[in-house]
Amino acid sequence: MHIDDITTAVIDTLARMLDIESTALDRERSFHEMGLDSVLLVGLSAEFEDRFGVSLDPEFAYQHDSVRKISQHLHGLLNEEVAYA
């Protein structure tokens, strides 16, 4: 999956969770600065597990705390799975 498609999915998911327009999201801003609490971060990780079919560490959204970082990490995971398939 291309990084741009992953980034779009991350932005769309966050915008829906925060009830804001996707254009209002800053790719570099931390999730904490965006107002995501621990419950929302766990939900975010679960959404990405379902959407992308990957297993994520419970600390996933804390370790990769921006749209850019989480998109890059998911891209790496998905490319790794394709390489082993």
In tens, the pLDDT along 64-77 reads 999 999 999 999 99
Report the pLDDT value the prediction gives residue 69, as an integer from 0 to 100: 95
Tokens representing residue 49 in the block: 């597990």
Domain, as residue range, for 31: 3-84
Q: What is the pLDDT of residues 31-49, one digit of tens each?
A: 989 888 888 888 889 999 9
CA geometry: angle at 50 spanning 47 and 56, to 5°?
Answer: 75
Domain CATH for 42:
1.10.1200.10
pLDDT at 84 over 70: no
Can you give the pTM of this predicted structure? 0.86
pLDDT-derived band at 81 (thresholds 50, 70, 90) equals low
Report the pLDDT value the prediction gives residue 35, as an integer from 0 to 100: 86
- How confident is the prediction for the chain on average, in pLDDT? 89
> Into how many domains does the chain fold?
1
CB 43 within 8 A of CB 69: no
Q: Which H, E and C letters describe the chain, residue by residue? A: CCHHHHHHHHHHHHHHHHCCCHHHCCCCCEHHHHCCCHHHHHHHHHHHHHHHCCCCCCCHHHHCCEHHHHHHHHHHHHHHHHHHC
